[in-house]
Structures are given as structure tokens and as C-alpha cells.
Homo-oligomer: A and B are copies of this chain.
């Protein structure tokens, strides 16, 4: 896709793009309330990918902030969070949603999921994920209490807020506009919305 072009991540669906080392990808929360699950895989070897558990060890913190690099399962920087106009509330501790999650939440029949969206987004580029890494959940508001308990809260970002991630190696970045419509992470209306991304220099 052309540099600067705004690409829609349709509500409930996924989208992926190649981002070259030194380029950045900007993820725009056009409605403000939408969680965007994010993954990155090395172009050279997709078995090397952004890993939340390795990133937490690297940063010695649960949640990355502006200036922090996210590292792969081989502990090399793959993306750096260089801009963040949102309040900086993102999540690294929860798994991508999947069909098992929606079955447990009582959904009957098909329900889109971030896990399936990762596979279909990479599939559009002729790739398959080697596994489903735990995602960087941009704009997801999961407060951690002093006793380690967690809660699902609505995103606190504003319409138009964005995060810019600089690629530290050639990589495929995948996004899912999370289809969660049972718990209120995508706003109290529980209505998944479009998001956008844009590759910038």
C-alpha cells in the first residue's frame, strides 16, 4: 500500500501490512473507543515475532510507554512506540479473543475473533501465523489492582487518538479491530467500530 494512505481495519475484522525497517505504522482510533489487537512478525523468519512476555522482561514493566521498544521471542527490538496521543492505556496481559471465549460468553454460532482475524489478515498476504502470540492490545483498558486483580473497562482514548510504532526490522504487522461486544472494552455501547492505520516515514 502507498505510504501515507489510510487503510481501514473494518470493525470486527483484521488487516496486515509489510512495514520496512525505519518506516513507522500509525494506528488511528477514529472513534476513540476501539481496542486494536496488534502483532508483528519478522519478514525474514515469521517464527520470530513480537512477544509480550519477553517485552515485559525487557522493559521490567507491564505496559509499554512512549520511547519503549517491544521485543521478539528472540529478545530483539521489533517495534518502538514513538508517539502516543492517547492517555497511554494499553494492555499486554490478556490473550486475544477466540471462538472458545465467545462460546463461554454464551454466543451461539459464529462470532468473529481476534485470533481468527490474525489468521485471515496474514492469509491475505499469503502467510500463516506460526502460532497466536499474545497481542499488544492497543487502547485496551485493563486496570491492575494492588492485589493483582484485573477488570474489563471501556477504552479511555478519544476519537482520532493514535499510536505510532517504528519498525526496528522488516516485519509484517497485523491488526484486529476487536469484535468483543459482550464485555465493555470497546466502550459501554459494546459496539465494535472501524479503526485505521497508515504507514509513515
Contacts and interface: CB of A to CB of B under 8 A. Distances in A.
B53 A94 contact: yes
Contacts of A94: 53, 56-57
Given A57-B95, A93-B93, A95-B54, A73 B148 contact: no
A101 interface: yes
Contacts of A74: 98, 100
Contacts of A131: 130-131
Interface residues of A, number: 33
Contact of A132 (B52, B73, B132, B134): B73
Interface stretch (A21-29, A58-66, A193-201): A58-66
Count copies of this chain in the complex: 2
Given A52-B53, A100-B75, A144 B62 contact: yes
Classify the secondary structure of A's interface with B: loop
Contact of A61 (B73, B95, B130, B150): B150
Nearest to A72: B100
Contacts of A130: 131
A4 B73 CA distance: 37
Interface of A: 51-54, 56-57, 60-63, 73-76, 93-95, 98, 100-101, 104, 130-132, 134, 144, 146-152
20 contacts: A52-B53, A53-B93, A53-B94, A53-B95, A57-B94, A57-B101, A60-B152, A61-B147, A61-B149, A61-B150, A62-B93, A62-B144, A62-B150, A74-B98, A74-B100, A75-B100, A75-B101, A75-B104, A76-B100, A134-B134
